[in-house]
Chain A
Amino acid sequence: MTSPKLSVRGVSKVFEGASDGDDVLALAEVDLHIGEGEFVSIVGPSGCGKSTLFNIIAGLLEPTTGTVSVAGHDGEPLLGSVGLMPQRDLLMPWQSVLDNTSVGLRLRGRSRRAARREALAYFDEFGLKGFENRWPSELSGGMRQRAALLRTFLGGHDLLLLDEPFGALDALTRRAMQSWLLGVWGAHRRTILFITHDVDEAILLSDRVYVMTGRPGGIALEERIDLARPREHAVELDARFTAYKHRLIAPLDSSPVAAGKD
């Protein structure tokens, strides 16, 4: 790939043990790359180190070894170059939905009024129309995730890390959100690195999928998904979809973490 957007090379992370414990090797030699405008997923079981990897890429954690570089931000600190959306929506209960979604704009110097105006333009597309002046507590789970996603989109970053954004939603809402995200990403083409524990979701949404296994966390497999875009849920019934699923799930099924044996 020509000059990737995100380059993670040889990243490992050791957490020093508490007074009674040993050091924990959370990540061992992770390499991955994402090109401009790609949608890439990482699939892995809970505890495999996905979130640790995300925190390192976002600049919140220092890796023990290895480097992370983001094209267009060389020489800048990592923290602030990459957008992060954690699993919980983390909307601020004391601000309106509109102020929550526009916080990134305000932090980059826009006035409150200008920031609100700019964010408001996306409300229809993000399914939040009519809820601009409501409190976050008044939104449904799916709406809260969409609001959190809009906040991430408006955070001023061209690379976004989405950590299991649909994990807490029920299956039907999740399906609707996946279709919606495909549409939004298709329209705006941000570079996205997406974490999920759901292999189907990864195949449906992504251009490429990395499979991570844990203890210590590492990339077990990388697969390019050659299914036509724009994608719809119907593609899940395609024979090639099932073939991808077989290939991607193999390392997960044999991983002790996934089997709950450790």
Chain B
Amino acid sequence: MNSSNMDEKLNALISALPDAIEPSRDLWPDIAARIRAVRKPAQVITLVSAKQVKLPATSTGRRAGSIWSKRPAAIAAALFILVSLSAALTILSKQPGVSEEGWTVTGIAGAPTIGRIGMNREGAIGVGEWIETDGESRAQIEVGNIGQVELQPNSRVRILRAGADEHRMALDRGGINAFILAPPRLFLVETPSALAVDLGCAYELTVDERGNGHLNVTAGWVALEFHGVQSLVPAGAACVSRPGSGPGTPYFLDSAAEFQKALSDVDLGHSLDASLPELLAASRVRDSLSLWHLLPRVARDQRALVWERLTELLPAPPGVTREAVLNLDRPVLDQLKEDLEQFWF
């Protein structure tokens, strides 16, 4: 049979594949048990505005509350002022040229605000709008259909983009816990010191009063990026980013205290001649995560020391040579990373 016939036969077989394949057993009981253990899906309710204010009906069908029942002119005036104020604040809080799409927000504690307006337990946030929490409040944001972000107390985020191809927010201060189930690079968080790019994961990201970012990944991967510098942070690892210099070197949280101290000094450029040897001496196989990231970030002489420590910890994979690594040959560095990754989980 020639190639063309083979292709035809293959195409015919593909067309004949059934659309559905029933599972070997009924999966519903397990699914039902799992969804009973979680909350019901949040209602999609837009931000409460004056237009939506309704007072509870009494048994006679009249609205409760004496002033509201007795003074219709006062109601109309109050509603007009509230609607106007709501519209004005919404316009003020939006960026020009942004879409009207938004995400559902659920208040978890306290009284979060959207665009300076207090929200009920549930609301919606649009592109260009800010959501803020005070010391007592927390909120959960449904990020399109790809995941959730919990906003910690004393935090402020703005939605920058809510399209199907990109979900982007800015974290100005405070912290978020993100759980995202999506292909890589679909969810991004801008901070004053770096861009956090979701690669399919769960993580905590905080921004302190100086604009430093602190990333702690609990599942999957996150990339921190700033002006061409990238740090890849896997589950169990953390990374600090600083305004102006971007992401530092990622490290595993279970690494030795002296390793973390030395790494912080190296990242800050403090007495590199002393701190780098300390760091290398305290490194384990798993800390090859940090060592690999350091390779392009240090001078060639220091890079040679890092390479030597790496090869003490693990034999170099075939094709990865000292010279290529010292020359920062990108494909070779990628190959080295592929080999080292198995020790990062």
Partners in one complex: no
